Amino acid sequence: MRIRDLSPSDFRAQLGGDGIRLATGPFNCRLQSGIGEIADELARLYAHHTLVDSSAFTDFHIAVQPGHGLRRWLRPQALFSVDSVEPFTPLPRAQALPMLEWGLNWCVTAYSQHILVLHAAAVARGNRAAILPAPPGSGKSTLCAALVNRGWRLLSDELTLISLETGQVMGLARPVNLKNASIDIIRAYAPDAFLTRPVHDTTKGTVALMAPTAASVEAVDAPATPTWMILPRYRAGTDATLTPMGSGNAFLQIADNAMNYHILGAQGFEAVGRMVDSCQSYGFEYSRLDDAIAVFDRLAAEAESAAR
């Protein structure tokens, strides 16, 4: 059973009660919130995710609740907690939904030292993954959202998970976090995609979340092999250009974008080395999304024909 099979009122009641339990790739999450106004958008963002039985093991017990006491009415707040621990200062109530997403990212990062966690987007064609590590503002999420709406499968927008045993990418297929100008760009580029209403004045500016495609979520448990490591950079007016990157530089780019490289020690070194060995690595400048996607499609077609 998937979230989309729940009626809006059932979803709302469970969210406000014992919680919505859903699977996102390798993690089972329980989401609770007494902030009713996020329910409808949340249900659409996670529409295709599977529901998990309440007797199953839950990795993260997460809640976003209204502030205590007077703060319910006076400049209302949203409080994030994971299993009753509140790791962050509260945010304004209007930011409850992005807070839930960021908090969930924090959980994955803080509690997952059994895998390599990269600050990177990842998309796949079949079982071949393109990994896009990049600093904020490089256009990573915009490019990722565009690819996902043109036939690529979303593995993750923010955190790429690499198994230390197999070296494979494990997908999360959670919502894509769009910021500022990219919100309108993606609205225009993919009118069918579901985007939440923009939330203004967050620490990242205006943000909106885009729901992953049904196909991405339904295939989330199929791992993908790191095949391309592409460092995107949006630059107005340029043609889409791939520049091959040496393996030393590629290694540093991946290690530098790994959240827990320093924690994993030798295992982290091995994992990044293995990734570099299995990937073609490129720097990538682009300005027009259609051109960028043509480049990605060409890479996928080349890999496909080389495999035949």
Where do contacts with another protein occur on this chain (CB under 8 A)? 26, 28, 54-59, 61, 80, 83-89, 91, 99, 102-103, 105-106, 110-115, 119, 136, 158, 203-204, 259, 262-265
Closest C-alpha to 162, from 124, 114, 215, 200: 114
Cβ-based nearer residue to another protein, 228 or 251: 251
Cβ-based nearer residue to another protein, 77 or 213: 77
Cβ of residue 111: shortest distance to another protein, in angstroms? 6
Cβ 123 vs Cβ 129: under 8 Å: yes
Cβ of residue 63: shortest distance to another protein, in angstroms? 12
Q: Say what angle helices 181-189 and 140-148 make with each other, to 10 degrees.
A: 10
Cβ-based nearer residue to another protein, 56 or 181: 56
Cβ of residue 108: shortest distance to another protein, in angstroms? 11
Name residues whose C-beta falls within 8 Å of residue 278's C-beta, 6 or more positions apart in sequence: 167, 225, 226, 227
Cβ-based nearer residue to another protein, 135 or 246: 135
Name residues whose C-beta falls within 8 Å of residue 159's C-beta, 6 or more positions apart in sequence: 105, 108, 109, 117, 118, 119, 120, 172, 259
> Could you tell me the CA-to-CA distances from 260 to 118, 159, 224 in Å, in that order?
8, 11, 21
Cβ-based nearer residue to another protein, 48 or 61: 61
Residue 301, judged by CB atoms within 10 A of its CB (0-12, 13-18, 19+), counts as: exposed
Type and span of the H or E element at 225: strand 225-234
Cβ-based nearer residue to another protein, 92 or 198: 92
Cβ of residue 9: shortest distance to another protein, in angstroms? 27
- One-letter amino acid for residue 40 of the chain: D
> Could you tell me the CA-to-CA distances from 27 to 5, 79, 103 in Å, in that order?
20, 22, 14
Cβ of residue 284: shortest distance to another protein, in angstroms? 22
Name residues whose C-beta falls within 8 Å of residue 190's C-beta, 6 or more positions apart in sequence: 145, 146, 149
Name residues whose C-beta falls within 8 Å of residue 35's C-beta, 6 or more positions apart in sequence: 64, 65, 66, 78, 93, 96
Cβ of residue 259: shortest distance to another protein, in angstroms? 6
Residue 104's CB is within 10 A of a number of other CB atoms, namely: 23
Cβ of residue 28: shortest distance to another protein, in angstroms? 7
Cβ-based nearer residue to another protein, 101 or 289: 101
Cβ-based nearer residue to another protein, 209 or 300: 209
Cβ of residue 127: shortest distance to another protein, in angstroms? 21
